[in-house]
Homo-oligomer: A and B are copies of this chain.
């Protein structure tokens, strides 16, 4: 049920891509259909409306989030390090969906998108709390991650000075803080 390399999946991919690259407004049925290699009518056979596309993305997000949390939970380097690192990595399946939903949420037209993101963030929050006892630091970790996502969501494709190596510095700084505060 989760693994169909069908037209449906590639339409969803195209929608995701369109939203990320050109914004929700530009992600018209026609544009998405063209990118997915079908016609408007063809698209509408699989997704009866634009809202259905959003719903499809939400569903995908929930599945990916579950997997993401699972991987995070068993990350050998620790939850926080892995978490922050993965926040820069904007080129995974997870990130694509997450960023697309971020855009949709901001459009104000899709409360379901906002809800899905809230669920994800809530999962992260709980997990981080298991590793970081100080609530202020835990909050700080989440804010840094949000900041990283915000950056990549806002300046798509633009290298904005938060490269992977620079993030290592940030991670180390957070580490110092966590150690200093854990007594």
Contacts and interface: CB of A to CB of B under 8 A. Distances in A.
B176 A180 contact: yes
Contacts of A172: 136
A105 interface: yes
A146 B26 CA distance: 25
Count identical subunits in the complex.
2
A144 interface: yes
B114 A143 contact: no
A136 B169 contact: yes
Contact of A24 (B105, B107, B166): B107
24 contacts: A22-B108, A23-B107, A23-B109, A25-B25, A25-B107, A25-B108, A25-B109, A26-B108, A102-B154, A103-B106, A108-B156, A136-B166, A136-B172, A139-B161, A139-B166, A139-B169, A139-B170, A140-B173, A144-B147, A146-B146, A149-B150, A173-B177, A176-B181, A177-B177
Interface of A: 21-26, 102-103, 105-109, 114, 117-118, 134-137, 139-140, 142-151, 153-156, 161-162, 166, 169-170, 172-174, 176-177, 180-181
Given A106-B153, A146-B151, A147-B147, 12 more contacts: A23-B106, A23-B109, A24-B25, A26-B109, A136-B173, A139-B162, A139-B166, A143-B147, A145-B147, A146-B147, A173-B177, A176-B177
